[in-house]
Amino acid sequence: MVSFAAWRNRAPHAGKPADRHYVTLAELLVRLGSYGLALTWRARFSGDHPHPGFAELIRASSGEGIPTLELLAMDAPYLQAVDADFEGYVGGELVLTLREFDSSSWDVRTADEWVLSEIQRHYPDAEPMTSDEWDATN
């Protein structure tokens, strides 16, 4: 398990000053590459989410879940949620949880070392978490 800041500093580019951007679910799914394509997703949100894209995602991901490419075709993965869990499954087995916590961090839980190393490669501030820390963000 690792956790990293959801808000990132972006380097200046093409004559524009440095700014900040939010890491979206869509960005994380792209970072997973072919690993993520094999997953189906279920979404759980804490509290109210007024944007209709979240309601659509909840409906689409109920039951068997929604494949990654279908998920990326929706609006919700490009939006900022306050508190949400995105659970990735292979068959009926949960293999990855991406937790958007309080719009300030992403927490990643998986037994797959490749996924953790990819997250740490792309987000060098990613720090290991304990089970107690994971439970505290739920």
Domain count, the chain: 1
- Token code pair at residue 117: 């190393």
Whether 37 is covered by a domain: the verdict is yes
From residue 41, how far is each of 36, 62, 107, 110 by CA, in Å? 10, 9, 16, 14
Whether 119 is covered by a domain: the verdict is yes
Domain of residue 42, residue span: 2-9+20-136
Greater pLDDT, 6 or 135: 6
How does the average pLDDT of the chain come out, rounded? 88
pTM listed for this prediction: 0.88
Whether 58 is covered by a domain: the verdict is yes
3-state secondary structure 29-88: HHHCHHHHHCCEEEEEECCCCCCHHHHHHHHHHCCCCEEHHHHHCCCHHHCCCCCEEEEE
Whether 14 is covered by a domain: the verdict is no
Looking at the chain, the whole-number percentage of residues with pLDDT higher than 90 is 56
Whether 47 is covered by a domain: the verdict is yes
Q: Does the pLDDT of residue 37 top 90, yes or no? A: yes
What pLDDT, on a 0 to 100 scale, did the predictor assign at position 99? 93
Report pLDDT digits (tens) over 86-134. 999 999 999 999 999 888 899 999 999 999 999 999 999 999 998 888 8
| Spatial separation of the C-alpha atoms in residues 36 and 107, rounded to whole Å | 16
What pLDDT, on a 0 to 100 scale, did the predictor assign at position 12? 63
What pLDDT, on a 0 to 100 scale, did the predictor assign at position 101? 86
Whether 93 is covered by a domain: the verdict is yes
Whether 48 is covered by a domain: the verdict is yes
Computed on alpha carbons and rounded to an integer, the radius of gyration of the chain in Å comes to 15
